[in-house]
Amino acid sequence: MDTNRTLAENRTASKKGYVPVNGISMYFEIHGVGKPLVLVHGGGSTMETSFSTILPMLAKDYMVIAVELQGHGHTSDRDAPESFEQDADDVAALCRTLSVDKASFLGFSNGGNTCMRIAMRHPELVDKLVIISAFYKREGMVEGFFEGMKYATLENMPQLLKDYYLKINNDESGLVSMFTKDRERMMRFEDWGDEELRWIKAPTLFICGDRDVVRNEHTVKMSRLVPASRLAIIPGNHGSFIGEVCSVEEGSSVPVMTVKMIIEFLNKTVADEKE
């Protein structure tokens, strides 16, 4: 796959800009027409690095609203730590400013944590959820993940993610701040209770790679806690099955199949689910 060409194509949006929300200037792009589908990227990432492969496919069927979170990509930072709760409130505020009363939300990695928090804190906004490679307890990550996070430095951050940040913001100090806040959020993470996932009433599709950094058993457990949920374990590592820029596999048709599955899930009605 020619990643540079694909990313360039994705920059053509029907609308893009900044919205002031909760003390930051939050960047968004809108692609396609139809029911709204909000994309929330992973930690250390941008809408491009997480979704460059699947965004144009989803935009054929939906009005895709891609956002960038606090201190990531084009979006400004605030003098405060990152949290999934604050990110959820920021995305919800952006949706309301754009007059989006209800949408489906798709989140990858830390973006999946944010989308679950949106469903818990702003349930009236949520039609359906697609949660990709996210977790709700520390035990959900592969062995050694949090131990390794203690010693992580900017040098450990994937070079492509650093390159894409600096392409948008040629500011090394901003990159350091983003990395540090992302790392500190993970280090501070405290387990969510099972009852918190049971609060999610929106139909939810949980997706995980069979060689992901999130344990398959953990994703299965989440799917059993959320009342109206479906589950898919797909061959691939963290992000490869959606074509994330650091793990995209040349010539793979798996992201296409993943998108087809996501669209089929989003298009199902309540009556379809009962059949």
Could you tell me the strand order of the sheet in which 24-31 lies?
Answer: 15-21, 24-31, 63-67, 36-40, 103-108, 126-132, 204-211, 229-237
Greatest C-alpha distance within the chain: 54
The average pLDDT across 247-268 equals 95
Whether residue 5 is predicted with pLDDT greater than 70 in this model: the reply is no
Q: Give the pLDDT confidence of 49-70 residue by residue, as tens digits.
A: 999 999 999 999 999 999 999 9
pTM: 0.94
266 alpha-carbon distance from chain centroid: 16
Q: What is the pLDDT of residue 270?
A: 57
99 alpha-carbon distance from chain centroid: 21
Phi, psi of 133 (to 5 degrees): 55, 50
7-41 residues labelled b (16+ CB within 10 A) or e (exposed):
beebeebeeeeebebeebebbbbbbbeeebbbbbb
Q: What is the pLDDT of residue 1?
A: 38
105 bridge partner residues: 38, 129
Which two three-digit tokens encode residue 39? 């994309």
Whether residue 7 is predicted with pLDDT greater than 50 in this model: the reply is no
Domains and CATH numbers, the chain: 3-269 (3.40.50.1820)
Query: Using CA atoms, how far apart are residues 61 and 32, in angstroms rounded to an integer?
Result: 7
The average pLDDT across 260-274 equals 81
**Nearest CA-CA partner of 101 in 188, 46, 10, 35:** 35
**Nearest CA-CA partner of 203 in 127, 120, 114, 107:** 127
Q: What is the pLDDT of residue 91?
A: 98
Q: What is the pLDDT of residue 14?
A: 87
Output the average pLDDT for the chain: 93
